[in-house]
Chains A and B, each alone.
Chain A
Amino acid sequence: MMLSIEKIVKEYDGVCALNGVSMKVEKGRIKGLIGPNGSGKTTLFHLISGVERPSSGRIFFKGVDITYLPSHEISALGLGRTFQTIQTFGNMYVVDNIMAGMHLRLRGGFLSCGLWLPWVGRAEREALKRGKEILEFLGLLGRWEWSASQLSYGEQRLLELGRALALNPDLLLLDEPGAGLTPGEINQLSEKILKLKQEGITIFLIEHHMGMVMEISDEVAVLHNGELIAEGPPESIREDPNVKKVYLRGKNSSA
């Protein structure tokens, strides 16, 4: 079991964003999380990655209780994530963004880095090599010397994915990786995600492109108003009456 969430509740000043959600993500699988806007998907990700604290409930990652751990310690356990609103480091080069993701894997503290002890330089060269490999995988190698803020929106999303990959994560949380991408780019992204799965990385993603989620996920969970209303393989979700109701109602009210 990679990730297990037990009865998570999150309240903001009396407004209940998540109401007793429990779910599990199994090792080596791709799990999709869908739901209308405001159903608590991103909140759930924030709780898992330690950006916010739940009001009650527990979260276990690889058997470790991470409910109240600070964000950076959770990532040290091997959890990488991307953000819904892009959080790339625009003040750095593209390749440095990826290398920043290797922070934990590189040796050296303030003193040894300042004195540039032998292993620091060695680690730095290896990091650069590995960074370029990741960029090649993402198809961004041609831009490795660009400033990250010069990249397009879709490229920045990819860059964020690359940064999370540099962590060597066991579990990747992807918050709407396909938002703002063209259909062609979404297909490429799906392929990349499937390739990551083959490499043994567990993936938990929020996505609005129904086609993409249904195609790549092994399992899909549906959140509505902070509650889990359906969970199962994509085919059964498609037929689920509850899900149909939620999505149809959403369409009616928006029309």
Chain B
Amino acid sequence: MVEQSQRDFRKRDILYVVPLWLLHLILPNPVPHRKKDFQKRDVIYLLLILALPLILSNEHIHHIMVLAGINAILALGLSLFLGYAGQISLGHAAFFGIGTYTTAILTTRYGIPTVFAFWASGFLSALFAYLIGRPLLKLKGYFLALGTLGFGEIFLVFVKESYDLTGGVIGIFNIPLFSIAGFVFDTYLKQYYLVWGVLIVLLLFSKNLVRSKMGRALLAISASEEGAASIGVDVTKMKVGSFVIGAGFAGFAGNLYACIMSTANYETFSLNLSTLVVLMVILGGMGNLYGPIAGAIFITWVMDVLGSYMEYSLPIFGVILILLLIFFPEGFGTRLGMRFVYLISYFPRKRRRDEGKVK
């Protein structure tokens, strides 16, 4: 439809079309799933990410972006399950926690290199997700939310109580920094490229996934489970698959978190984090991969700004969350994109309408 309205151009159209075209390079794609998968927009995003720490050479900003990158990996993983398959999980923080503690234990107790711990974390999180997901994902809606939440709480209790393994409420300290073959990621700048590099690889993986038959099957499940089953999609298998992949991503994120913060503490992995990750996905838009990443950056940034008023930040998040849901139930990013499509076709539409009146 956009193409149709752009067909008959006039010179003055340049006035609004050029800035809108520039905007369109940056804004997220309005429609959830598209055939042309890699566009100019992607290159611009990539360059922006690579150049950002060089433009803003502020240590603090680098650190915030490192945290944002870790959150973005979490949100990206959940996005496949929540945004595409339309299933809810309130236990995502637990998989993050499994990743963190796996790394913490392997590196501090057994001296295993962080790179191996990276794979072990992802694998172990995914394994747990599979074991949990097989029985749990038969549930729908509220019961699924509650089941995943229950898993998260059990994980927390276990971490708090098994002092020998996880250090209990004290946690584990002095986790070595991430290093590959002797190259240690010891500055915020290096960590930035590490985290965002991992994020980009995972993003490519997810992007391939959602543009293939798997993405279609996931979207089909979220639209109509009966319809999906009628075309031969194994609904349970797809749900478990996307859950496991999301958990694997969370495991990787957990490893990066452990190897950057050097500590593992149970308080990080509470229900609050799970809710925040869900918020990032919702904020960015369902059925969209860039949205959750933008949501993660936004929320990490807001948390940092509100950081000095920590006790105020969580109630404010609660309010923001509810307001967002009320005004942008399909997600802020998706809505923004749709507004944009409307805008870009507004003037040609209006002109045609006016011409119609004259005739």
Contact = CB atoms under 8 A, between A and B. Distances in A.
Interface of A: 49-51, 70-72, 75-76, 80-81, 83, 87-93, 95-96, 99-104, 106, 108-110, 113-116, 120, 123-124, 127-128, 146-147, 160, 163-164, 166-167
B140 to A, nearest CB: 15
Contacts of B241: 110
Contacts of B235: 72
A90 B86 CA distance: 13
Interface string B217-231: 101101110111111
Contacts of A89: 216, 219-220, 223-224, 227
Contact of B230 (A75, A92, A96, A99): A75
Contacts of B34: 93
Contacts of B287: 91
Interface stretch (B21-29, B49-57, B207-215): B207-215
A140 B226 CA distance: 24
A71 B229 contact: yes
Nearest to A146: B1
Contact of A83 (B206, B211, B230): B230
19 contacts: A70-B229, A72-B229, A75-B229, A75-B230, A75-B231, A83-B226, A87-B223, A88-B223, A88-B227, A89-B219, A89-B223, A91-B32, A92-B223, A99-B213, A99-B216, A106-B212, A113-B208, A114-B208, A114-B245
B233 A92 contact: no
A158 to B, nearest CB: 15
A49 B227 CA distance: 11
B245 A102 contact: no
A99 B33 CA distance: 13
Contacts of A167: 231-232
Interface in B223-265: 223-224, 226-235, 241, 245
Contacts of A160: 227
Interface string B291-306: 0000000000000000
B231 A51 contact: no
B226 A72 contact: no
Given A114-B209, A124-B212, A128-B35, A103 B227 contact: no
Given A92-B219, A147-B31, A106 B213 contact: yes
B295 to A, nearest CB: 19
Contacts of A113: 208-209, 212-214
B142 interface: no
Contact of B231 (A92, A95, A110, A164): A164
B205 interface: yes
A81 to B, nearest CB: 5
A128 B217 CA distance: 15
A147 B32 CA distance: 10
Contact of A71 (B35, B212, B219, B230): B230
B342 to A, nearest CB: 14
Contacts of B232: 72, 75-76, 103-104, 167
A73 to B, nearest CB: 8
B212 A163 contact: no
Nearest to B33: A92
A110 B208 contact: no
The 7 closest A-B pairs by CB, nearest first: A87-B227, A71-B229, A113-B212, A75-B232, A89-B223, A104-B232, A87-B224
Contacts of B245: 110, 114
Contacts of B233: 72, 100, 103
Contacts of A101: 231
A49 B230 contact: yes
Given A72-B233, A96-B33, A167-B232, A102 B213 contact: yes
Nearest to A145: B35
B217 A100 contact: yes
Contacts of A51: 226, 229-230
Contacts of B209: 110, 113-114
Contacts of A120: 208, 212
A120 B216 CA distance: 14
Given A72-B235, A96-B216, A103-B213, 6 more contacts: A70-B234, A71-B229, A76-B232, A110-B209, A113-B213, A164-B230
A88 B217 CA distance: 13
Nearest to B242: A110
A92 B220 contact: yes
Contacts of B216: 89, 92, 96, 99-100, 103
Contacts of B224: 87-89
Nearest to A167: B231
Contacts of B32: 91-92
Contacts of A80: 230-231
Given A92-B220, A147-B31, A87 B213 contact: no
A51 B235 CA distance: 12
A101 B205 CA distance: 23
| Interface-central residue, B220, B231, B235, by most chain A CB under 10 Å | B231
B206 to A, nearest CB: 7
A91 B219 contact: yes
A133 to B, nearest CB: 16
Nearest to B287: A91
Contacts of A88: 223-224, 227
Contacts of A99: 213, 216
Contact of B205 (A72, A100, A102, A115): A115
